[in-house]
Chain A
Amino acid sequence: MGAYITHLNQIQKMFKQVIIKPFFCKVVVLLLACSQASLGQTFHALLIADTRDTKIGTSCETDLIAMNSKMGEVAKAIGYIYHPIIISEQNFGRAAIDSVLSTLPCTPKDILFCMYAGHGYTVNGRPNIFPLLLLKDNNGWGLDDLHLALKNKHPRLCITLGDCCSQLFPEKIPPSMRCIFRGIDVSKDIDILSKLFIQTNGDVIICSTQSGELAGSWPTYGGFYTRSWLEALDFAIGSNTQVTWENLLLDSKLRLNTFINMTFMLSPHEKPRQTPHWRINYGGIAPSPTPDPQPKPLVSFVDLNDFLNQLADENQYPLYETRAAIRESKRNIFFVPEAEIQIFINNPEKPVETQSLTRFLSRLVNNAQQVKQVNVIERHSISADNGKYQVLTVQEVR
């Protein structure tokens, strides 16, 4: 405060020199000071991508573009200044990262998000579950080392996402592209973004692989995990009032598994094993839930999503009898008997069909081959007094 007052006095002197009335001068200076304070909330996005690598360069570039776009939207929606810092092409390397870290103007009001898309590896005996990064000028720095360096800039919230491995699959055309959830305007869903980016303090570190695993990607598709993460974020923004970092990352993992199972259905021997993992440290205080006028459901959103996608997963559960058994054993956990399902195509506010629960679940089990994924829109669903779903709004991705 003392610095502000000194600053005010200095500016006041300047204005006095050009003969402006003192009162007017103070008002102008006060306005300037206020605007200075409101500019302090910045969303720094450090995007590190090995775009020049001969094998993964194109997919890294795809991830870079997608993540830059999405984080820009997030920053705009929560009222933060968006500050992207891109390290790619010939600058990809430790030297550029160190340079950024030494000059990054990060304050305790800021969010610091980092994505690493490039090669990663691990060695026998490495006690750390996070991989080492294959930077062009340094091979000994771990993803967790990067995360620690970012945390030491003391942002309010620090998130590091590494989508990396030691080698990639051969290039091939994907049999079908998963559609990214569309139709929701990010700027309208500030409550959910607020939960993730404003009400959460602390740090999150995420890696797309565990030791010895490979991270999949395709050139024009991008990293499998990055794509799944962005889909999960899109979906959470549009649909899930219960969102937390934990269930966002669980949903990302579920989407990745579903994608891999579907994609490698015909060549299961080529199926990669990719197990994303993460560590979340809330800065002393867990985020408080957004007040919700509806009764708090007793069912877990992630479990419900998982249940519905199991019914449609012919790859994991090839037998009808198995899927039917799962259906019968779990339906009463999530739904009241007379529940209805609203199905939408593009807009969850305008479903195209309403079905009884029985018919919907029966359809899922018998159409597992057709339905790639079921997206549940929790915020457009209705819970009964006992917390189970009375009306569920879903989208079938085919």
Chain B
Amino acid sequence: MRTVLLLIVFFGYMPFAKGQNDISQERLEEFRKLTEHRVADFQQYLSIIADKKASPEQKKEAIDLTMDLFIEGAKMQVSGRDGKPRPPQPIRGYLNRLSGLDKYTKIEITSYAVAAVSKFEKGPDGDYHATATYFQQFKGFDSNGKLLYGSQDRKDIAVSGKTGNKDMKKDDLKIFFGDIVVRETIPLNGQ
């Protein structure tokens, strides 16, 4: 009987204990909003890095700011000219290549739809996870303004909200971007 009572107390306490550590939906919504801002920042940085008119100083700043968003080891997937996804590459390598793309005289990277961020859910690792979907349009032109290559890509970013830092309050998260995966590529006219 005593054992049964102990088991009831134990299992009765467990959900309560778990619930106490969960971050409220209202707070998670704030972090979702923050993530939306950071995705918009990321897209702006890509635009700067690819812009041939941007100064080296500004490009370097944009690359550093981009790297601040990502967890170490994060990778970026891109599509080839055939529209098929290529193996992922380290973010910094991708950014450096984007900055130095010399086959185009002019590059425009813009967004063709508003990015969306899913709700944060708690994972088995105790951290919170979401997916940010952004919509990128890439256009590369020659010196005559002719479109050499263009595409519209829908990409997903794995977003983590990390807890557990001893300096943080219990309902604080540190937001990091993880790997970026291409979900869809639509070539544009001009290829």
Contact = CB atoms under 8 A, between A and B. Distances in A.
A108 to B, nearest CB: 46
Contacts of A370: 37, 40-41, 44
B61 A352 contact: no
Contacts of B62: 366
Contact of B44 (A324, A345, A346, A367): A367
B34 A320 contact: no
Interface string A342-383: 010110001011000001001101110110000000000000
Interface residues of B, number: 24
A358 to B, nearest CB: 10
Interface residues of A, number: 19
A31 to B, nearest CB: 46
Contacts of B40: 367, 370, 398
B27 interface: yes
A396 B37 CA distance: 9
A292 interface: no
B33 interface: yes
Nearest to B26: A346
A266 to B, nearest CB: 15
Contacts of B48: 366
A362 B27 CA distance: 27
B44 A352 contact: no
- Which of A353, A362, A365, A398 has the largest count of B CB atoms less than 10 A from its CB? A353
B33 A345 contact: yes
21 contacts: A320-B54, A320-B55, A320-B58, A345-B34, A350-B27, A350-B171, A352-B172, A352-B173, A362-B65, A363-B41, A363-B65, A365-B61, A366-B41, A366-B48, A366-B61, A366-B62, A367-B41, A370-B37, A370-B40, A370-B41, A370-B44
Interface of A: 320-321, 324, 343, 345-346, 350, 352-353, 359, 362-363, 365-367, 369-370, 396, 398
Given A345-B34, A370-B37, A398-B40, 13 more contacts: A345-B30, A345-B33, A350-B171, A352-B30, A352-B34, A353-B175, A359-B68, A362-B64, A366-B41, A366-B48, A366-B61, A367-B44, A370-B44
